[in-house]
Amino acid sequence: MTSEFAQPTLRLTESQYATIIGNCYDGLPNEACGLLVGPLGGNAEPTGAVSEARPCRNVDASAVTYTVDPRDMLGAMRAAEARGDEIIGVWHSHTHTDAYPSPTDVRQAVDPAWLYVIVSLRDQAPVLRAYRIRGEGIAEVAVELDRG
Amino acid sequence: MAVEIKLPTVLRAQADGQATVAVDGATVGEVFNALVARYPGLRGNLLDDSGSLHKFVNVYKDDDDIRYLDGLDTKLADGDVLSILPAVAGGA
Ligand SMILES: [Zn+2]
Q: What is the pLDDT of residue A1?
A: 47
Residues of B within 8 A of A96 (CB-CB) are 92
Q: How far is the CA of B91 from the centre of ligand 1 (A)?
A: 4
Q: Is residue B91 part of a domain?
A: no
Q: What CATH number should be reported for the domain holding residue A92? A: 3.40.140.10
Q: What is the pLDDT of residues B25-79, one digit of tens each?
A: 999 999 999 999 999 999 999 999 998 999 899 999 999 999 999 999 999 999 9
Which A residues, 107 through 136, put their C-beta within 8 Å of a C-beta on chain B?
108-114
User: B59 vs A68, A112, B50, B91, CA distance in Å?
Assistant: 14, 21, 18, 23
SS3 content of chain A, % helix, strand, coil (to 5): 20, 35, 40
Chain-chain contact of B9 with A64 (C-beta, under 8 angstroms)? no
Note whether A58 and A31 are within 8 A (CB). Answer: yes
Count: domains in chain B: 1
Q: Which residues contact A109 (CB under 8 A, 6 or more apart)?
A: A101, A116, A133, A134, B90
Q: How near does any CA of chain B get to the CA of A4, in Å? A: 18
Count: domains in chain A: 1
Residues of A within 8 A of B6 (CB-CB) are 77, 81
Q: Is residue B76 part of a domain?
A: yes
Name the residue of chain B whose CA is nearest to A96's CA. B92
d(CA A41, CA A46): 6
- Cross-chain CB nearest to A64 (options B17, B85, B91): B91
Other beta carbons within 10 Å of A2: 9
Q: How far is the CA of A92 from the centre of ligand 1 (A)?
A: 6
d(CA B86, CA A80): 16
Q: How far is the CA of B83 from the centre of ligand 1 (A)?
A: 26
Chain-chain contact of B89 with A97 (C-beta, under 8 angstroms)? no
Q: Is residue B74 part of a domain?
A: yes
Which structural domain range is residue A66 located in? 2-146
User: How are strands ordered across the β-sheet holding B57-61?
Assistant: B20-24, B2-6, B81-86, B57-61, B64-65
Query: 10-residue block means of pLDDT along chain A (148 residues)?
Result: 76 98 98 98 92 98 97 97 96 97 96 97 97 94 88
Other beta carbons within 10 Å of A144: 9
Residues of A within 8 A of B12 (CB-CB) are 44
Residues of B within 8 A of A101 (CB-CB) are 90
List the single best residue of A43, A73, A86 to mutate versus B (max B Cβ within 10 A).
Answer: A73
Q: What is the pLDDT of residue A148?
A: 60
Average pLDDT over residues B71-90: 96
Which structural domain range is residue B23 located in? 2-86
Is residue A29 reached through a cis peptide bond, with omega within 30 degrees of 0 on the bond before it? yes
Q: How far is the CA of B4 from the centre of ligand 1 (A)?
A: 34
Q: Is residue B92 part of a domain?
A: no
Other beta carbons within 10 Å of A51: 17
Q: What is the pLDDT of residue B1?
A: 67
Name the residue of chain A whose CA is nearest to B58's CA. A70
